[in-house]
Structure 1
């Protein structure tokens, strides 16, 4: 019995029609037209006709959008590659700081977001002005490696990331759901870009090996031109692919969150027990305090990663309790680090590094308290997951403001 007869036979059985479609979509679509012609009065087949027809229309519209978006993406990718290569030339000449390489990529990412969202002119002008002011200011600073200048270099990417977020959210910059979408976008972008970069590294290694067989050493030229250009252009390509709802990154991020959260929790618990056992003291050991703060930032990133990948209608399960345990652990680590920094400030004096680390730890501590309280209410069925997401998304501008404070005021305060 062919599929056409099966479609007619099961017109009154939506479940069976769905099963047939999923088993062999191409054969189902091919045979459906005959069944539709023979039974034009069937309401079930009418729904299926609209479903299949709508999908074809949507795909046609999407393909037209892809053509236009692809051209814009290609142009921005080429400009990002060229700009990065030009900036790298001046970095090699030691005329500007290496952090300027960020301006070869992030402004073009923001430009693609603006093209996709078309925000109000005031937002576009603000973004252009902030990028320009930051770039000019950065290169007016002394080209040295004093603590206050290094702190500026470390905070510039954070500030530019927040500016890119403003471009992404556009007119909806105040909405928590749009900010959450930006965080998810970054996670998917990171996974996709890393996958593509690994493939590029394999290609680069193979290319250099092939040229070495004929006695040519192209390593310096290849890395300074092809690899650098490709790394910058690839960022725009990855942004474009994620914005086109590429299923690879979207499908894998929830699984990564569920796998890594318990592994990170177990690893950190073992690490902290070992630290206590061997008697490491962050109050006296500066290097250990730096590692401690690195661990804190890692936990915060993993926690946010896990929370944002949780579905809003997902039932409470072990993953939620693991997330809560990670938040509690991060709060303990931050409290210890905060105490150690205050101790070092009071006993060893004020330095740019200590003030910066103190500020970051206070911000993270307040953010963790907010997230933990929201999560506690959620686990007690006193609120929904939206409160947890608000604790994350509404706090993002605070990090941007702190980064701006360090960038624009620290060099003057600690001259």
Structure 2
């Protein structure tokens, strides 16, 4: 590597460090300038002593004394091996860190208890899980996600205007989920139950990024948070399933059948509390899950690529069209969302300075395969809407979602191709994905608020 390349890489590391420091609310711009001057001076001394620029930068950060806690948090957000070795080792024992951890723990416990109280509150008004399943289907995320957003807003020290916006959006979601006269088996109930969690999760994203919502890096951090939260939540759900089976069978062996306790208390209360606990775990234990999530992404990306290619070959070979009934639409949309999730999370976990490699080409194949399936589904949906079947809430929602995904996947494929050919920087792909998040939010809110009256609440 030439001296010029070394210097460019070092400047990129300084820029990455400064961007992180500027997100800290307790540091003023003048503090960031002073910190960077101190860091640059230390790096210059270490380079003069014979270290390479990379080594000098890492050692200088480790030597920052009173800023060790800041260094550790920066290391948690960047998965490079050397960051963890040089910064995260021996991080326990800091009084500031211990105090903050205890405060976060108590905040999590309070918010989790609030989620549990919320999911049990409707029972006080005679609403049961058996007789009012559609109510709980529409509102389950309203019981849990506001408390997760509250925990994140508290941890980010969100300002009052942002808190007001969060409260207003969750209140709007509650109105949209309950004000319309929807029959239990209507298509609008299904559409609302699917899209309201998406809309509310992006409200949680607003709490996560706090006042840095314009920052592409902070939005990418939220994408990373989403993937890690999902992993923790699934692991807790699996553990909860094992616990439920254990309780049921052990108590049954002595003549007690705890079915009502499990179905009415353990599962709903555990699920809502787990939403908050998973968010706390991501915030507190990032150094652990960072090693798991990228491995899962690299494992499932080739598997999904092979599955999509096999499906496309089967479609061409058999000349069969795609069934676009409700279950099939949900399945194909879920498939495309999983593909998009794999792409997003692999981008969030990738070193932005690394050159294009084999995995990037594999991602391009995955995106192109998903794009081809999206086109096939769109053609089938458009054909059904224009023929004698007409439009329904399911088909209209699926049509809009597939158009939105088509635009995203098409431009993502182009950016991946140009990145692989070294004509576009990786940052362009990252900016495109993070900048597209408001599109998903807007569409989800349109479906939740506009579709039920538009289709006469059917």
TM-score by length of 1: 0.82
Within 5 Å, give how 1:340-379 maps onto structure 2. Answer: 340-348=380-388, 349-379=390-420
Kindly tell me: are residues 164 and 327 of structure 1, through their superposed partners in 2, closer, same or farther at Cα, counting changes over 3 Å? same
- 1:138 match: 177
**Aligned to 1:78, which of 107, 110, 113?**
113
Counterpart selection for 1:266 from 276, 296, 306: 306
The aligned counterpart of 2:41 is: none
Count of matched residue positions in the alignment of Structure 1 and Structure 2: 369
**Alpha carbons 1:96, 1:143 under 8 Å: kept:** no
Match for residue 148 of structure 2? 109
- Residue 443 of structure 2 corresponds to 402
Matched, 1:126 2:161: no
Query: How far did residue 249 of structure 1 move?
Result: 1.4
Q: 1:209 to 1:324 in 2, by over 3 A?
A: same
Q: CA RMSD in A?
A: 2.6
Pick aligned residue for 1:156 from 165, 176, 196: 196
State the partner residue of 2:97.
62
Is the CA contact (8 Å cut-off) linking 1:281 and 1:288 kept in structure 2? no
Report Cα offsets for 1:79-101 as digits up to 9, x if no partner. Answer: 11121122466243429612212
* Corresponding position of 1:90: 127
Choose which of 323, 343, 356 in structure 2 pairs with 1:316: 356
User: Judging changes above 3 Å, is the alpha-carbon distance between structure 1 residues 129 and 213 closer, same or farther for their aligned structure 2 residues?
Assistant: same
Q: Which runs of 5+ in 2 are unaligned?
A: 1-48, 56-85
How far off its partner does 1:122 sit? Answer: 1.5
Residues 247 and 258, structure 2, Cα contact 8 Å, conserved in 1: no
Of 337, 359, 366 in structure 1, the residue corresponding to residue 377 of structure 2 is 337
Conserved 8 A contact 2:324-2:381: no
Larger mean CA deviation between 194-203 and 293-302 belongs to 293-302
Q: Is the CA contact 1:147–1:352 (under 8 Å) kept in the aligned structure 2?
A: yes
| Structure 2: distance between partners of 1:283 and 1:237 | 39
Q: Which moved more, 1:191-200 or 1:207-216?
A: 191-200
Structure of greater Rg = 1
CA contact (8 A) 2:134 2:189 kept: no
When residues 234 and 297 of structure 1 are mapped into structure 2, their CA distance, relative to the original with a 3 A threshold, is: closer
Shift of 1:308: 2.4
Q: Does 1:171 align with 2:208?
A: no
Whole-Å separation in 1 of the counterparts to 2:333 and 2:134: 29
Distance between the aligned counterparts of 1:402 and 1:133, measured in 2?
A: 15
Contact 2:152 2:208 in 1 (8 A): yes
Alignment CA distance shift 1:111-1:255 (3 Å) = same
CA shift digits 1:301-321 (9 cap, x unpaired): 222232222221223221100
Partner of 1:238: 278
- Identify the residue that residue 220 of structure 1 maps to in structure 2: 260
Tell me, in whole angstroms, the C-alpha distance in 1 between the residues paired with 2:141 and 2:376: 33
Alpha-carbon distance between aligned partners in 2 of 1:259 and 1:314, rounded to the nearest angstrom: 20
Cα deviation, 1:113-164, whole Å, max 9, x if unaligned, reads 1001122322110110111122133211114132234322221111101111
1:171 to 1:285, Cα distance in 2 relative to 1, 3 A:
closer
| 8 Å contact kept, 1:208–1:219 | yes
- Kept in 1: contact 2:147–2:276 (CA 8 A): yes
Q: 1:368, 1:246 → 2: CA distance? A: 29
CA deviations on 1:185-207 (whole Å, 9 max, x unpaired) are: 11111111212222222122112
Distance 1:290 1:212 in 2: 38
Question: In the aligned structure 2, how far is the partner of 1:292 from the partner of 1:234?
Answer: 28
Q: 1:296 aligns with which of 336, 349, 365?
A: 336
Show the 5 A alignment for 1:180-195. 180-195=220-235
Distance of 1:181 and 1:119 partners within structure 2: 17
Q: Give the Å deviation of 1:178.
A: 0.6
